[in-house]
Amino acid sequence: MNVLSDNFSLFAKGLWGTVQLTLLAGALSLVVGVIIAGFRVSPVKALRAFGTAWVTVLRNTPLTLLFFAVLLGLPRFGVVLPFRVFAVLALGAYTSAFICEAVRAGINTVPLGQGEAARSLGMTFTQTLSLVVLPQAARSVISPIGSTLIALAKNSAIAGSFSVTELLGTYKPLNELGYSIVWTFVWIAVGYLIVTLTISAVFNLLERKLGVAR
């Protein structure tokens, strides 16, 4: 019962680890996901092919396998980075595939005429996308992106198996110290709830804000 109060700093460290992984990988996945979505709707065939390959590979690879590939594979090519950075890269790349598809679905909800009007005014592809299409896609994309980021927060637990500090991993030392495994997991679950409910709240707010903007 007193597993939380006795080990507060351990829990806090784990929670902070999870929050960091979620924030960094989330930011990375949003940036990469939007760019890849742009690739997938671009008039350049090579970019479209790259985008499709990116999504197909990352969306269909089990995340654990991807972790192995990044953490064990990249060092073989001379890329040696802290495990924490590797974890952010793996989580970010994996999640970016899902973000990309959510954004692409949003782009498809914007009437074709909006893009045509922008192009007829002399806007380049990038301008058309960033000034006209994406702002209008944003409203319909908010909710699925929220879900994807919640999944990311929970997926970050896999990093614990690769000795990166995060919330789920705290159960190991606590178990060794003889604390009740049930209560340990209850408090870990509460920690994840804090993270995921915060994400929900932020995205609800965003949805309401963008919903009235017209």
Q: Tell me: does residue 135 bind another protein (CB under 8 A).
A: yes
Helices (H) and strands (E) in the chain, counts: 11, 0
Residue number, 126 or 204, with CB nearest to another protein? 126
Cα 7 to the center of its chain, rounded Å: 29
What Cα–Cα distance (Å) separates residue 2 from each residue in 68, 77, 185, 201? 36, 47, 13, 29
Distances (CA, A) of 48 to 39, 44, 57, 160: 5, 6, 14, 35
Give the shortest CB-125-to-another protein separation in angstroms.
Answer: 8
* Structure tokens that stand for 137 in this block: 């896609």
If phi over 0 gives left and psi between -120 and 50 gives alpha, with beta otherwise, what is residue 121? alpha
Residue 167 Cβ vs another protein, minimum distance, rounded to whole Å: 39
Binding mask 171-210 for another protein (x = CB under 8 A): ----------------------------------------
212 contributes a contact to another protein by CB under 8 A: no
Q: Can you read off the two tokens belonging to residue 102?
A: 């959510």
Q: Footprint of another protein on residues 93-132 (CB under 8 A)?
A: 111, 113-114, 116-124, 127, 131-132
| DSSP secondary structure code for residue 110 in this structure | S
In angstroms, how far is CA 120 from the centroid of its own chain?
35
Query: Nearer Cβ to another protein, position 97 or 118?
Result: 118
Q: In whole angstroms, how close is the CB of 206 to another protein at the nearest point? A: 15
* Nearest distance, CB of residue 27 and another protein, angstroms: 24
Task: Compare residues 20 and 114 and give the one whose CB is closer to another protein.
Answer: 114
- Per CB under 8 A, contacts with another protein among 42-81 are 43
Q: Which two tokens stand for residue 162?
A: 């690769």
Among 20, 52, 61, 136, binds another protein (CB under 8 A): 136
Does 214 bind another protein (CB under 8 A)? Our answer is yes
Residue 74 structure tokens: 């990249």
Number of residues counted as binding another protein (CB under 8 A): 20
Coil, helix or strand for 49? helix
Looking at the Cβ atoms of 52 and 127, the one nearer to another protein is: 127
Contacts of 43 (CB under 8 A, 6+ apart): 125
- Which residues of the shown chain bind another protein in the complex (CB under 8 A)? 43, 111, 113-114, 116-124, 127, 131-132, 135-136, 213-214
